[in-house]
Amino acid sequence: MDTNPIFLGVIALAFIVAVVIFIVVMVELRGAIKRLKELVRTTESSLKPTLVELQQTLKSVRTLADNITNVTEDFQVFSDSVRGVGANVKNVSDHVERLSEFVGNITSTTVAEASGLKAGIKTGFLVFLKNLFRKG
């Protein structure tokens, strides 16, 4: 088994070329990894403040939502109170109207009774005077 020196030379040359290509690829890969690490570091450093600001914004939104809920509840209580006051005013108005009618009725009755009393006294006085002058 005699190996041909050309064949061995081609194999050696192919091996050397493969090793050189492997080294070049590894160097490029190492550079790409360094750039990727730098990109991740930069992205991470810029995302941290953004996340902190986002958390503060979410807290503010939550506080605003709670305040809106409180205002809505207060407005609902106020609205219910206004409704109650309106109902009470209506009741008072009804009572005042009834009282006014009652006073009007009493006044009408009193005026009628006073007119009747006046007419009765006048008539009685005239009859008294007639009888007084007739007998005397």
The one-digit pLDDT tens for each residue of the chain (136 residues) are 566 888 889 999 999 999 999 999 999 999 999 999 999 999 888 888 888 898 999 999 999 999 999 989 888 888 888 888 888 888 888 888 888 888 777 777 787 788 888 888 888 888 888 887 776 5
- How far apart are alpha carbons 86 and 93 in whole angstroms? 10
Residue type, 101: E
| Domain assignments of the chain as residue spans, ordered by start | 1-96
Span between the terminal Cα atoms of the chain, in Å: 192
